[in-house]
A = this chain, B = another copy of it.
Amino acid sequence: MTSSKVKISYITIDSARKATFGKRKKGLLKKASELSTLCGIEASVIIYSPYDAQPEVWPSPARAQQVLSDFKKMPKKDQSMGMMSQKSFLRQRIELANKRLKKQCRDNREKEITQVMFQCLAGQGLENLNMMDLNDLGWLLEQNLKDIDRRISMFPQASQSQGYATAASATMATPEAMLNSGEKVEVKSPERGVSPETEQRQQLIKDLMHSPEDMGLDSMLSFGDNNPNAFFP
């Protein structure tokens, strides 16, 4: 059992080095988490080793990045002030956290509605949706249509063969109208049967989608930064 004072220098024996690495990594992360908890501060540890495929990042890549970008965003004045009061420091952090939370909520909502949209495309109908969902769905469709229009307008001489895409945009370009008339009624009485409009639209959409799987429809319709690996792309 450990007798010598443990010299801190590179361990040449592979197995011993790996063992030590495992233990000490664990210890370091624990210490970091304790410090963070005890003092209510933000901290981050990055360990980049050949033993792990990905670098170990505590508490998470996103948090680590956040700490940095938050700091960058802070007004110069605060940065140079000798020491913030604990209070203003915490307030600062709370504000930023709230901001992030809001953004997260927005993104989640967007993903949710995107799901709904695909369900509709798959023929689920809009009957079970409430007002808010319909509103958001409308918004989402609008955004997507704008995007489609923009893309179409990039072809200076759209030939007939692209006709369906154009038609799609032309036909669907009135999501507000869609929501304003027939749909709202449905919201009030969700139990009602499928309206003619809905069926018609479903058919239209199905017709419009020659082969939904082969083209990157996903990438065309999704937006926002869905990349969970933004930190290590």
Contact = CB atoms under 8 A, between A and B. Distances in A.
Interface string A127-165: 000000000000000000000000000000000000000
Interface in A40-67: 40-55, 64, 67
A17 B45 contact: no
A118 interface: no
A11 interface: yes
A160 B32 CA distance: 61
Contacts of A42: 47-49
B10 A50 contact: no
Contacts of A32: 28, 45
Interface string A92-132: 00000000000000000000000000000000000000000
A28 B25 contact: no
Contact of A34 (B17, B24, B40, B46): B24
Interface residues of A, number: 54
A43 B38 contact: no
Contacts of A11: 38-39
Interface of A: 8-11, 14, 17, 20-21, 24-25, 27-28, 31-32, 34-35, 37-55, 64, 67-68, 70-72, 79-86, 88-89, 231-233
29 contacts: A8-B34, A8-B37, A9-B37, A9-B38, A10-B37, A11-B39, A14-B86, A21-B41, A24-B35, A24-B38, A28-B32, A28-B35, A28-B43, A41-B49, A42-B49, A44-B47, A45-B46, A46-B46, A46-B64, A46-B68, A48-B70, A49-B89, A50-B83, A51-B83, A53-B79, A53-B83, A55-B71, A68-B231, A79-B232
